[in-house]
Amino acid sequence: MPSIVEAEIRAFGANGDGLVLIDDKPAYIPYAVPGDRMRLRVGDDRHVEVLDLLSPSPERVSPVCALFGQCGGCSMQTTALPALLEWKTGLVRHALERAGFRTLPRVASVQVPPETRRRIDLAFQRQPGRLVLGLHRRHGDVVDMTECHVVHPALLALLDPLRHVLSSLGAVTGGGDLQINLYSSGPDILLSTDSALAPTDRVKLAAFGRDHRIPRISWKSKRRPEQGFEIVAQQGPVFHAFGAVKLCPPPGGFLQATEQSENAIAQSVLNALPSLNRRDPIIELFAGFGTLTVPMAQKGRVLAYEGHFEAISALKSGAVGQRIETTHRDLTRQPLIAKEFAKARVVVLDPPHAGALIQMDHIARSAVEDIVYVSCNPQALQRDSALLQKAGYEVLSVSVIDQFLWSTEAEAVVSFTKSKKRLSRRQT
C-alpha cells in the first residue's frame, strides 16, 4: 500500500536532484532543494510523488524561465545561485578528498552572470506547420527555445531568423543539429542535417549570412560526421582574439562557455604556474585552438599537444612569432610517456569530460614537479588525481568556475606540486 510521509531534503544528489531518506533508504526528487520539507506519497515500488511543499528551504527561489521543467537545460533553477556555487565548490573539494588529499587550500570560486553564454548546441525538428529549435527535454523531444536566461542576447536574437531559414531548406526533412559559437568576429554557425544541401539551400544560407552579418556558415552530414565539414557561406574573416593574438578557429571549435569564464580559467592557470623564465618549457596537453596556450606563452615556452587536427592547425597558423610549438597527437591513443616530460618545468592539461586516466598515469610516473589540471568533471578529477596523490603530489591551489548556470556542471582549476618550497606558502 502507498504511504504518506513527511520528510526533509537532506542534500543534492550527484545529478542535482534532492536527496531524501525514506525508511533509511535514499530517494531522489527533481527540483527539490536541501532544507525543503515536503509531504510525499511513496508507492509500493518506492516511486516518490510530491504532494505538498510544507516549508521551503531558505535557498529555494522561483525559476526565472517559463520553460523551466520542460527544456532540457537549467535543471536547478529552484536553487539560489550563491547556494549552487557553494554546492559545486563542495563537489570539487569532496572529489579531491576522496582522491586521498587530506590537506587542501582554501577554494577560490567565481560565478558568471546570466545571459553570457556564447556557445550553444541546439537541435531542431520539423513539426506540422512549424520548425522547433532548442534543447531536448529529459529523454524526450525538442523543446522550442522561446526564451533563455543563460544564452548571450546576440545568439538568442538569431533563433527566430534561424527557424525561418531552416524551415525553408530542402535538406531539413526531419531534424538536425545546430552549433553556434560567438567568436570575436561574430557568430559562427555549424549546421548538421541528414540530407545534403541543395544548391538552393546554399543560396538561402548565403543570404541569411549577409542579412545577419554571420561571417561563416558551415555544414556537415549528420549521418556521416566522419567526413568533416564544408564551408557553405563566408562573408568575412573568422577569428577569436586572445589578447593581441587572433586565431581562426575551425567550425564547431571548442570555446569556453562565456568570456568571463574564459578569462577566469586562464587567470587561474597563470596564477597556478610556478615561477618561470621565458625559456622554461610548459607542456600543454589537450590544447584545443589556444584558449590557455596563448596566455601561457607570455610566461614560458609552450609545447602544445592536441588530437583535433583542425584545432591544432588553427593554433599553429595563428601563433607565428609566439613562444608556441604545436604537435598534432591523439593523446587518448598515444599519450606522452613519462620520459617525454623530462624537460618540462610544468605540465598543464585540460582534458575532455571523461578525463585523462591513461595520460595521467604517465604524468604521475614522470619527474615533473608541478601540474595544473583543468577539470569539467569532478568524478574524472577524483579518479585522475588519485594517481597523483599516490605519486606524492599535494594540492597547492583550487579554483572553481561556475560557467554553466543552473546546471550540475562544475569547472575547476587545480594545481598539484611536489615542491616543499611552494607548499610552505600554501594557505589552508
Write the pLDDT tens digit of every residue in 92-112: 999 999 999 999 999 999 999
Give the number of C-alpha atoms closer than 13 A to the C-alpha of residue 158, restricted to the C-beta side.
24
Tell me 302's DSSP state: E
What confidence score (pLDDT) does residue 136 get?
A: 84
Q: Quick one: how far is CA 102 from the chain centroid?
A: 28
CATH architecture of the domain 3-55 equals Beta Barrel (2.40)
Q: Is 306 annotated as a binding residue?
A: yes
- Please tell me the distance from the alpha carbon of residue 232 to that of residue 191, in angstroms, as a whole number: 10
Residues acting as catalytic residues: 376
Confidence check: pLDDT of 320 > 70: yes
Segment (H or E) for 163: helix 159-167
Whether 428 shows a pLDDT value over 60: the answer reads: no
User: What's the average model confidence in pLDDT over 258-281?
Assistant: 96
Q: Write the CB contacts of 229 (distance below 8 Å, at least 6 apart in sequence).
A: 190, 218, 219, 220, 250, 251, 252
Neighbours of 210 (CB within 10 A): 11
**Strand 240-242 with 229-234, pairing:** unpaired
- For CA atoms 50, 54, 58, 64, give the dihedral sign: positive
Is 286 within any annotated ligand binding site? yes
> Within a 10 A sphere around the Cβ of 79, how many other Cβ atoms?
24
Is 350 marked as binding a ligand?
A: yes
Q: For residues 349 and 374, is the Cβ–Cβ distance under 8 A?
A: yes
The 10s digit of each residue's pLDDT in 354-379 is 999 999 999 999 999 999 999 999 99
Cell numbers describing residue 393: 603530489
pLDDT in tens, 158-167: 999 999 999 9
> Cβ(97)–Cβ(174) under 8 Å?
no
Spatial separation of the C-alpha atoms in residues 393 and 389, rounded to whole Å: 5
- Report the SS3 class of residue 346: strand
CB neighbourhood size of 418 (10 A) = 17
Q: Can you give the pLDDT at residue 1?
A: 67
Mean pLDDT value across residues 39-43:
90
Does this model's pTM top 0.85? My answer is yes
Contacts of 129 (CB under 8 A, 6+ apart): none
Confidence of residue 139 (pLDDT cuts 50, 70, 90): low
- On the 0-12 / 13-18 / 19+ scale of CB atoms within 10 A, 103 is exposed
H helices present in 172-308, as ranges: 199-211, 259-272, 293-296
Would the annotation count 361 as a binding residue? Answer: no
* Residues 119-238, CATH architecture: Beta Barrel (2.40)
- pLDDT band, residue 426 (cuts 50/70/90): confident
Q: In this prediction, what percent of the chain has a pLDDT beyond 70?
A: 99
pLDDT at 158: 97
Grid cell for residue 305: 599537444
CA-wise closest residue to 35 among 58, 63, 4: 58
Mean pLDDT of the chain: 94
CATH code for 81-114+242-423? 3.40.50.150
| DSSP bridge pairs for 247 | 240
With cut-offs at 50, 70 and 90, classify the pLDDT of residue 420: confident
Q: Is the per-residue pLDDT at 138 higher than 80?
A: no
Contact residues for 6 (Cβ-Cβ < 8 A; gap 6+): 37, 38, 39, 40, 54
Residue 14: count of CB within 10 angstroms of its CB: 11
Q: Which pLDDT belongs to residue 223?
A: 84
| pLDDT confidence bin for 341, thresholds 50/70/90 | very high
Which pairing describes strands 3-8 and 37-42: parallel, antiparallel, or unpaired? antiparallel
Rounded CA separation 194/340 (Å): 43
Q: Which residues pair with 372 in a beta bridge?
A: 348, 415
SS3 of the chain: helix, strand, coil, percent, to 5: 25, 30, 45
**Helix or strand or coil: residue 188?**
strand
Domain with CATH 2.40.50.1070 in the chain: 119-238
Residues of the chain with CATH 3.40.50.150: 81-114+242-423
Residues of the chain with CATH 2.40.50.140: 3-55
Q: How many CB atoms lie within 10 A of CB 186?
A: 18
